[in-house]
Amino acid sequence: MKYLFGIFICFSCLFKTAEAQKIYSKLGVHAGYMPKFTVQEATDSHVRPLGVRLMVSDYDMAPLEFGVHAYARYGKTARLSYGASLAFLIGEWKAHDFKAGLSLSKIELEDVLLEDVGIIGPQVGDVRFQGLGNEFKPFIEWEWLGTPLASFFVQMSYRIINGEKTVVTEVEEVDSPVFDFPMNELRERDWSFFYSASGFEIGFGVSIHLLRE
């Protein structure tokens, strides 16, 4: 909740600053593709995240672009992510901008629960991710500013995710008070802090220019 409040404050500050200093701002839709997205035991293939982002910059002041974003549709591996990014303008050529940057996000990961038919209760190997994970995503981006009202961009990136998880290591079979067959009862669970190299992503999108000098 504190993180969401912080992003809301960022949005408010960005719009107020844009009105005062005529900062260049863009609202974009970003679609991505990951051949494989892996976070520890959670994995999925051909993942297509989709999200929105708000970017602001004033290249006369500094060759930097700041943004906030939110993404969903991570398949079986995660539910959603949200955060901020900072990009450095490394080159310009006519209507083309070339940038390198880093995105920092919070990500809600999907638990990995075994599903053996006929077994009720926890199973050895069940994984639960604790709270929200942290996502670090270095990227490079090309943006074509071919029209006054909109631009098109392509982004290449790699995701690194860390967080906390617990894994069921021991269960006990007990009589069920409801069913005529036994069920599992949790006896032992291991906690660990992890880092996960989660995979490459290629993305593209369109940005609408909200304010431009």
Q: From the first residue on, what is the mean pLDDT of each consecutive set of 10 residues in the chain (213 residues)?
A: 45 40 80 95 94 94 95 94 97 93 97 78 86 96 91 97 92 71 78 95 95 70
Instruction: Classify residue 61 by its DSSP letter.
Output: T
Pull the structure tokens for residue 25.
């701002």
What's the confidence (pLDDT) of residue 124? 83
Beta bridge partners of 157: 139, 201
Q: How far apart, in whole angstroms, are the C-alpha atoms of residue 8 and residue 73?
A: 22
Is-contact 183 176, C-beta < 8 A? yes
What's the confidence (pLDDT) of residue 18? 37
What's the confidence (pLDDT) of residue 37? 96
What's the confidence (pLDDT) of residue 19? 38
What's the confidence (pLDDT) of residue 188? 83
Instruction: Classify residue 112 by its DSSP letter.
Output: B
What's the confidence (pLDDT) of residue 178? 64
The structure's pTM equals 0.81
What's the confidence (pLDDT) of residue 160? 97
Task: State the DSSP H helix or E strand holding residue 20, giving kind and residue range, or none if neither.
Answer: helix 2-21
Query: Comparing C-alpha atoms, which of 135, 84, 83, 85 is closest to residue 109?
Result: 135
What's the confidence (pLDDT) of residue 15? 41
Q: How far apart, in whole angstroms, are the C-alpha atoms of residue 4 and residue 211?
A: 24
**How far lies 84's CA from each of 90, 125, 201, in Å?**
19, 34, 17
Q: How far apart, in whole angstroms, are the C-alpha atoms of residue 16 and residue 14?
A: 6
**How far lies 64's CA from each of 56, 61, 177, 179, in Å?**
9, 9, 63, 62
